């Protein structure tokens, strides 16, 4: 309540006397050669992990929870609001133990599988290829299938490609039709294994490069305009050697994307709480979030060395915050709450991806429902939208918009002798010509003022939306699901000289929108 009163007072003083402090100058200029921010940067991830699929997306068609073929209608509607461009499935680590033929045909005849990576639970394979691809059709989103390289075979993956994509007569397309699907789904995006350096087989980069070449050779792009889009299992965070080997040893005509995985986690043995954290822990998580800038820059530099024409894309298909699970939940289910800290993490990361849109063409937040930095949490029939969901929704205006390059010197957010950039910014102009500027202030206590010269953009009027709260630890609960949600933001002023002055509250995300 105290913070709300302070914000109201600040708004009143602002309207009476204007901004009282000089702001950080931010320059946003149009550039005809700037890249398009690929909408696939805003992708999501659904692994067979904890309650992401079973008890999350999928409740079965006999459930009293409103559903379509067993998939929750409220989750579908919420994700459609985000306009999610793609959804990655079935893993993650689970992908390299998954045999797709076990998940087709009559549900009562499907064999079970023990999820050896996540909780040791037995799954009945009732959610399989048809269920997932039909879900993607409900969502109007592109499926991104992760193929089994670790425990599967070349033939198994080649058959899966044919099963979902081939429209002619073949053993696999005939099998698909027998299982009730006449027309192929035309799945374009394929991951060739997952984390081959770890749970995907603990391979050396040199060995995996050869494995990739073999698998990719036998994956046919039948019925897919432009062929399949194949993504190599990529590096973990700062393993630059891995990227170097893939770019050097894999012929680029076999390779459309190279993955990168990076989680904001401080200590894998002591990740810290998702809610009851101190500012020091928050600061360290923000360090890990900002590390994405360095990682992308250095991996891109390696890619540029071998691919100066930028034909191969960087695909950050796992990212997000990772903390200790909520008390009383299965440690293997990775269920965690989602606070304003996660909103900051999401805003900073998405700005980084936007600003590297020349090479970053897809990314996948881990994960969509009930796992890690989820956008949706469920409890039986209840559902809530997290602060991260709201950031993703605010940022959907950047989908397929042209990047507007931004330059500025950020003020610092300092704690115990260490410092980070306090402000993160990205901007774009949509196909309708409308400009959007997303700003994040990660400082836990300080309001930061900025000034943006809008003359070169031709903007005459703006509106703004903000996501903020009283405490960093604030989160939505099933009893109070709308505690945190975006609201109109008025604490800015535009001068006659075309300069907007705005005060960014502590730990806030603000979206400026041109009025057309």
CATH of the domain at 197: 3.20.20.80
Query: Has residue 54 got a pLDDT over 90?
Result: yes
285-296 residue pLDDT tens: 999 999 999 999
Q: Do 146 and 295 sit in the same domain of this protein?
A: yes
70 confidence band (pLDDT: 50, 70, 90): very high
109 belongs to a structural domain = yes
Are 215 and 161 a contacting pair, CB within 8 Å? no
What residues pair up with 289 in beta bridges, in sequence order?
A: none
Q: Do 142 and 281 sit in the same domain of this protein?
A: yes
Q: Do 158 and 298 sit in the same domain of this protein?
A: yes
Question: For residue 430, which of 400, 458, 456 has the smallest C-alpha distance?
Answer: 400
Query: Has residue 282 got a pLDDT over 70?
Result: yes
Q: Determine the average pLDDT of the residues in 461-481.
A: 97
Say what percent of the chain tops pLDDT 90: 91
Give pLDDT, residue 67: 98
What residues pair up with 385 in beta bridges, in sequence order?
A: 376
Q: Do 355 and 493 sit in the same domain of this protein?
A: no
19 confidence band (pLDDT: 50, 70, 90): very low
Query: What does each C-alpha distance from 485 to 87, 344, 443 come to in angstroms?
Result: 24, 14, 19
Domain-ending residue, one of 400, 416, 438: 400
Active site residue ranges: 195, 318
220 confidence band (pLDDT: 50, 70, 90): confident
222 confidence band (pLDDT: 50, 70, 90): confident
Cα separation of 412 and 421, whole Å?
A: 5
The structure tokens listed for 376 are 């949706």
Cα separation of 278 and 297, whole Å?
A: 30
Query: Has residue 321 got a pLDDT over 50?
Result: yes
Q: Determine the average pLDDT of the residues in 93-111.
A: 97
Cα separation of 332 and 117, whole Å?
A: 8
362 belongs to a structural domain = yes
Q: Do 128 and 174 sit in the same domain of this protein?
A: yes
The structure tokens listed for 395 are 């940022």
330 belongs to a structural domain = no
Cα separation of 67 and 142, whole Å?
A: 21
Q: Do 354 and 487 sit in the same domain of this protein?
A: no
Query: Has residue 486 got a pLDDT over 80?
Result: yes
Domain-ending residue, one of 370, 400, 430: 400
248 belongs to a structural domain = yes
Say what percent of the chain tops pLDDT 70: 96
Q: Do 188 and 236 sit in the same domain of this protein?
A: yes
Query: Has residue 3 got a pLDDT over 90?
Result: no
The secondary element (H helix, E strand) that includes residue 71 is strand 71-72
Q: Determine the average pLDDT of the residues in 406-424.
A: 97
Domain CATH code at residue 454: 2.60.40.1180
469 belongs to a structural domain = yes
Q: Do 384 and 426 sit in the same domain of this protein?
A: no
Give pLDDT, residue 13: 39
Q: Do 362 and 436 sit in the same domain of this protein?
A: no
How many structural domains does the chain have? 2
Q: Do 365 and 413 sit in the same domain of this protein?
A: no
Q: Determine the average pLDDT of the residues in 207-213.
A: 98
73-83 residue pLDDT tens: 999 999 999 99
DSSP letters for 239-296: -HHHHHHHHHHS-GGG-SEEEEEEEE-S-TT----SSS--HHHHHHHHHHHHHHHHHH
Cis? peptide before 197, omega within 30° of 0: no
Q: Do 204 and 258 sit in the same domain of this protein?
A: yes
Cα separation of 25 and 260, whole Å?
A: 33
Cα separation of 400 and 380, whole Å?
A: 36
333 belongs to a structural domain = no
232 belongs to a structural domain = yes
Q: Determine the average pLDDT of the residues in 490-495.
A: 90
Q: Do 279 and 361 sit in the same domain of this protein?
A: yes
N residues, the chain:
516
Structural domain of 188:
39-49+74-322+349-400
> For the chain, how long is the longest CA-to-CA vector?
75
Question: For residue 499, which of 10, 18, 150, 82 has the smallest C-alpha distance?
Answer: 18
238 belongs to a structural domain = yes
Cα separation of 229 and 143, whole Å?
A: 12
Give pLDDT, residue 185: 96
Domain-ending residue, one of 400, 435, 465: 400
Burial of 3 (C-beta count, 10 Å sphere; 0-12/13-18/19+)? middle
Give pLDDT, residue 21: 57
Are 433 and 491 a contacting pair, CB within 8 Å? no
Mean pLDDT of the chain: 94
């Amino acid at each position: 309540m105290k913070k709300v009163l302070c914000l109201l007072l600040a708004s009143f003083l602002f309207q009476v006397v204007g901004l009282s402090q000089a702001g950080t100058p931010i320059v946003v200029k149009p550039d005809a050669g700037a890249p398009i921010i690929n909408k696939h940067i805003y992708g999501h991830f659904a692994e067979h992990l904890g309650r992401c699929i079973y008890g999350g997306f999928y409740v079965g068609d006999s459930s009293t929870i409103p559903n379509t073929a067993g998939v929750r209608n409220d989750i579908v509607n919420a994700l459609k609001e985000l306009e999610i461009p793609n959804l990655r499935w079935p893993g993650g680590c689970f992908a390299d133990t998954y045999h797709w033929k076990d998940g087709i045909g009559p549900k009562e005849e499907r064999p079970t599988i023990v999820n050896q990576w996540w909780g040791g639970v037995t799954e009945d394979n009732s959610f399989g290829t048809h269920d997932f691809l039909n879900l993607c059709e409900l969502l109007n989103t592109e499926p991104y299938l992760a193929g089994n390289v670790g425990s599967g075979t070349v033939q198994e993956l080649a058959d899966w490609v044919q099963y979902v994509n081939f429209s002619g007569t073949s053993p696999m397309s005939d099998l698909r039709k027998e299982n009730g699907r006449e027309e192929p789904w035309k799945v374009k995006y394929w991951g060739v294994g997952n984390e081959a350096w770890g749970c995907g087989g603990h391979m050396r980069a040199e060995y995996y490069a050869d494995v990739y070449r073999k698998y990719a050779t036998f994956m046919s792009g039948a019925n897919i305009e432009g062929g399949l889009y194949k993504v190599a299992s990529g590096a973990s965070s700062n393993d630059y050697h891995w990227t170097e080997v893939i770019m050097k040893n894999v012929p680029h005509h076999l390779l459309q994307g190279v993955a990168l995985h990076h989680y904001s986690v401080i200590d894998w043995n002591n990740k810290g709480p998702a809610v009851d954290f101190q500012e020091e822990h928050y600061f360290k998580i923000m360090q890990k979030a900002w590390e994405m800038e360095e990682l992308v820059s250095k991996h891109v530099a390696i890619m540029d060395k071998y691919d100066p024409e930028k034909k191969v894309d960087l695909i950050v298909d796992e990212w997000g915050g990772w903390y200790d699970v909520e008390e009383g939940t299965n440690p293997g289910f990775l269920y965690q709450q989602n606070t304003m800290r996660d909103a900051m993490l999401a805003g900073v990361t998405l700005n980084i991806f936007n600003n590297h849109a020349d090479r970053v063409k897809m990314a996948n937040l881990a994960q969509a429902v009930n796992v890690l930095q989820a956008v949706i949490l469920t409890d039986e029939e209840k559902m809530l939208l997290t602060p991260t969901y709201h950031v993703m929704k605010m940022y959907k205006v950047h989908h397929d918009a042209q990047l507007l390059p931004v330059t500025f010197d950020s003020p610092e957010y300092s704690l115990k002798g260490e410092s980070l950039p306090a402000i993160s910014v990205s901007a774009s102009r949509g196909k309708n010509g409308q400009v959007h500027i997303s700003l994040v202030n990660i400082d836990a206590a300080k309001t930061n003022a900025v000034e943006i010269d809008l003359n070169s953009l031709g903007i005459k009027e703006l509106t703004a939306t903000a996501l903020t709260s009283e405490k960093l630890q604030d989160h939505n609960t099933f009893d109070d699901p709308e505690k945190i949600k975006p609201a109109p933001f008025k604490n800015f002023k535009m001068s006659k000289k075309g300069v907007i002055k705005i005060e960014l509250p502590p730990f806030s995300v603000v979206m400026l929108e041109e009025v057309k």
